[in-house]
Chain A
Amino acid sequence: MARRQRQAWKALATVALLAAGCADPSGPGEEPEPPAPYDWKLPAGFPTPRVPEDNPMSEAKVQLGRRLFYDKRLSLNGTQSCGSCHEQARAFTDGRVHAVGSTGQAHRRNGQGLANVAYATSLTWANSALTTLESQALVPLFGREPVELGFADQQEVLLERLRADTDLAARFAEAFPGEASPVSLATLTRALAAFERSLLSGTSAYDRYLYGKEVDALSPAAKRGLQLFLSERLECDHCHSGFNFQDATVHAQTPEPVLPYHNTGLYNEDGQGAYPAGDTGLLEITGRPEDMGRFRAPSLRNVAVTAPYMHDGSVATLSDVLDHYAAGGRARAANGGQASPLQSPFVRGFELTPDEKADVIAFLESLTDTAFLTDPRFADPAPAP
C-alpha cells in the first residue's frame, strides 16, 4: 500500500517536472515495476502468513530460493544442500536421530520439519532470539558448533561461487530488482526464507474433513483419536494447538506473537529437573534457570513421516511418544515416580487403552499431507542429468 502511494507520488512529480520543461533525471521507466502480488495458494482455513517488511514475497524470489535450497554449492565442500537434511518426502526432515552436517559432524539435535514454517514464531528447537527465517538461514550456513554447511569464515567463497554462475546471478537480479549487488548474503538469505515460507501443508485428510466438509475423509478411528487429542485427559492441544498444531504460531493478523517453550520431562538428571549438560534447552540462550529443558513444541503436521521425535531424536515412534506422555514424562520412572519440578503441568500422565492409543495414532496419521510431500513446486528444480 505504502509502495503504491509512493509510486503514485513519483508519477505526479514526474508529470510536474515534464510540465515545467525539465527532464526527469531518473528517466521514465527506470523505476522498477512493483512485483506481482504473490499467490500463496493458501489451503482452506489457513491465515495469510506474516512476512518481514524487508522481504516481501514474489514468485521470482520463491523460485530462486527453491534453486538455492537444493544447491549443493551452499556447502563449502559441495556435498550438501539445505535439502540434504530437509527432504520433501519426509516433510523436510531427514529420518535421522541427529542431523549430520557436510563434514560428517553430528548435530546434537534432531532435524526439524519445514511444513508451515511460515507460521512459526520462533525457529530451531530452543532459541527465542531466532524469529525470522532470514536470520535462521545464517546458522546452517556459518555455524561452527556444529558445522552444518561449513562456510564459517568463508562467506566470500560462498558469494563468489554464486556470482560466478551467470545464470544464477541473473536470477538473483530478477528476484531482487534495484539491488546494486544482487548476489549478497542479504539476498541469499531472503530468497531461501521466501521459498521456505511457500512450503504450506494443508490438504491432509484432516483438512479435507475439517475445512472441506468431507465427513468421510477421517476414519472413525481418526475421529475418535481427534477427540482424545483435544481431551482434558490427554492435554495434547495445549502445546500442539490451532490450525498448525503448534502453540508457537504467528500469522498476519496475530496482534502479539508468543514464544512458548516447554519442559516435557524427558530428563531429570538430578531430581531438580536438570537436562543432560550437552543440551539443556532454552536456558542456554536466556540464562534463566527456569528455562532448563524447555524446547519448542513442533507442528504436528505430517508428524507420521518425521520420526524420530523430540529435540534429540530420542523417541523412535509415535507409539513411544504416547508412552512418554502417558507416563507423565519419561524421566519420572528414574526418579521414583516423581515429576521434574520444571516440567510442564500439562505433562501429568494419563491412561490410554490399546484401542485408544491406536485411535490417537490414526488421528496423527490423518495429518499426513501426501500432496505436500510430492508437490513438484517444492521439489528440486534441477533438470535430471
Chain B
Amino acid sequence: MRSLLRSRLLLPLALVGALGCGEDEPETLTVDLPVVARVGGEAFACGRTYTNVGTTGTTYEPMDFRVYVHDVRLVTRDGKEVPVALTEDGTWQHSGVVLLDFANKDGLCTQGTEGMNASIRGTVPDDDYTGLRFTLGVPEDLNHGDPTTLGAPLGDMGLHWSWQSGFIFTRIEGRTQGLAQHVLHLGSTSCAPPPEGQTQGTAGCANNNRPEFHLDGFDVTKNRVVMDLGTLFAGSNLDVNAPNTAAGCMSSPTDADCGPFFERMGLAFGAQAANPAAQTFIRAE
C-alpha cells in the first residue's frame, strides 16, 4: 500500500466522476511527491555514520533533520504555476505548510519524534506538469503567530525560536570529529518589533531566509525531490566553529560559519548576494 501510494500519484478522481455525473467539473489529480534525504550518495538515516563530509572530510553522525516547506506549486508545460492544495492531515500538513521529518529516534537522534514524513501530498487540477516549485520555511503570516495555538505541525517547540518569535525552518544537527554537536538552524533574523497596535509578531524581518526552489523538468510521475546534506555541507568546515558564535550556524548574520550554508541555499548573507542558481541543497532525481 505504501509503495503504491509512494510509487505514483495521479489518481484521476474525476475519471470516476465522469462515469456518473459532473462532466463539467475540472479533473483533479491527487499528488504524492516523494522527498528523500541523502548525505552525498547515501540515504540519510539516524544511527548511520557518513564519511568525507565538508571541507575537512569529517565524519557526520545525524542528530536531527527536519524541514518546513510551503507554497508548493506545479508548473505546466506552458509555464503556468498552479498551487498544490495540500491535504490537511492534522500532523504533517496544515495551512499550506508541510513538515518533512527524516529523523526517527535511532542513534543520536534522541530529540523530536519517532514519526517521519517524506512526501508532500495534495491535489491540483489535471494538467501537463513539467516543473515543481516550493519555498523552504514557514510563511510570514504564520511564522510569528502563537506557536501554542497554531496546531501541528506548527506546535513543536523544538522547531521554534522563542527568543526570535519565529520558527526554525530547517533543523539539521549532527556530530562530527571536531564538534560534539554541529547545528544548522535556518530561520528569519533581524526582525522588527510587533507592528503598531499588535502585541505579537513583527513588522518585518530584514533577513527572511526563505529560499525558493525551482525544479525544472520535474516529472510528477517519476521524479522525487532530493535534499542532500553532502552538497549542502560541501563548502563548510564542520570540525571547527567560529569563536563566540553558535556551534555551527543558527542564522546569526554575524556568524561566519553561516556563509557557505547560505550560499548553498541560494540565500544572501552579509555582502554575499542571493543567488538561487548557486543552491546545491535540493535537486530532482
Which of B192, B196, B199 has a CB less than 8 Å from the CB of A132?
Answer: B199
Query: Which of chain B's residues 55-106 have a Cβ closer than 8 Å to chain A?
Result: none
Q: Given A52-B199, A129-B164, A131-B199, are A185 and B193 also a contact pair (CB < 8 Å)?
A: no
Is A152 located at the chain interface by the 8 A CB criterion?
A: yes
Q: Kindly state the separation between the CA atoms of A145 and B255 in the bound complex, as whole angstroms.
A: 16
Q: Kindly state the separation between the CA atoms of A151 and B192 in the bound complex, as whole angstroms.
A: 27
- Assess whether B190 is in contact with A135, with CB atoms less than 8 Å apart: no
Minimum CB distance partner of A250 in chain B:
B199
Which of A50, A128, A131, A139 has a CB less than 8 Å from the CB of B162?
Answer: A139
- Assess whether A129 is in contact with B148, with CB atoms less than 8 Å apart: no
Query: Which of chain B's residues 131-161 have a Cβ closer than 8 Å to chain A?
Result: 146-149, 155-158, 160
What would 16 more interface pairs be, CB under 8 Å, given A136-B162, A143-B163, A287-B190?
A50-B199, A131-B199, A131-B200, A132-B199, A135-B200, A138-B147, A138-B162, A139-B163, A142-B158, A152-B111, A155-B156, A256-B196, A284-B252, A285-B164, A287-B189, A287-B206
Per-position contact with B for A115-158: 1 when CB-CB < 8 Å, else 0? 00000001010011111101110110111010000011101000
Is A259 located at the chain interface by the 8 A CB criterion?
A: yes
Is A286 located at the chain interface by the 8 A CB criterion?
A: yes
Q: Given A132-B199, A155-B157, are A142 and B246 also a contact pair (CB < 8 Å)?
A: no
- Assess whether A132 is in contact with B190, with CB atoms less than 8 Å apart: no
Q: Given A185-B148, A278-B244, A287-B189, are A132 and B158 also a contact pair (CB < 8 Å)?
A: no
Interface centre among A54, A129, A138, A288 (most CB of B within 10 A): A129
Residues of A within 8 A of B130 (CB): none
Is B253 located at the chain interface by the 8 A CB criterion?
A: yes
Residues of A within 8 A of B160 (CB): 138, 142
Is B123 located at the chain interface by the 8 A CB criterion?
A: no
Minimum CB distance partner of A190 in chain B:
B148
Query: Which of chain B's residues 250-266 have a Cβ closer than 8 Å to chain A?
Result: 252-253
Question: What are 22 inter-chain pairs, A to B, with CB distance below 8 A?
Answer: A122-B193, A129-B191, A129-B194, A131-B193, A134-B148, A135-B162, A135-B200, A138-B147, A139-B162, A141-B157, A142-B157, A142-B162, A155-B156, A184-B148, A259-B193, A277-B243, A277-B244, A286-B190, A286-B191, A286-B192, A286-B206, A288-B190
Taking beta carbons and an 8 Å cutoff, which residues of B are in contact with A?
110-112, 146-149, 155-158, 160, 162-165, 189-194, 196, 199-200, 202, 206-207, 243-244, 246, 252-253
Taking beta carbons and an 8 Å cutoff, which residues of A are in contact with B?
50, 52, 54, 122, 124, 127-132, 134-136, 138-139, 141-143, 145, 151-153, 155, 184-186, 189, 256, 259, 277-278, 284-288
Residues of B within 8 A of A136 (CB): 162
Interface centre among A132, A151, A256 (most CB of B within 10 A): A132
- Does more than half of chain A's interface fall in helix, strand or loop, or is it mixed? loop
Q: Kindly state the separation between the CA atoms of A143 and B250 in the bound complex, as whole angstroms.
A: 14
Q: Kindly state the separation between the CA atoms of A285 and B156 in the bound complex, as whole angstroms.
A: 22
Determine how close the nearest CB of chain A comes to the CB of B156; give it in whole angstroms.
7
Residues of B within 8 A of A131 (CB): 193-194, 199-200
Residues of A within 8 A of B200 (CB): 52, 131-132, 135
Which of B158, B165, B196 has a CB less than 8 Å from the CB of A155?
Answer: B158
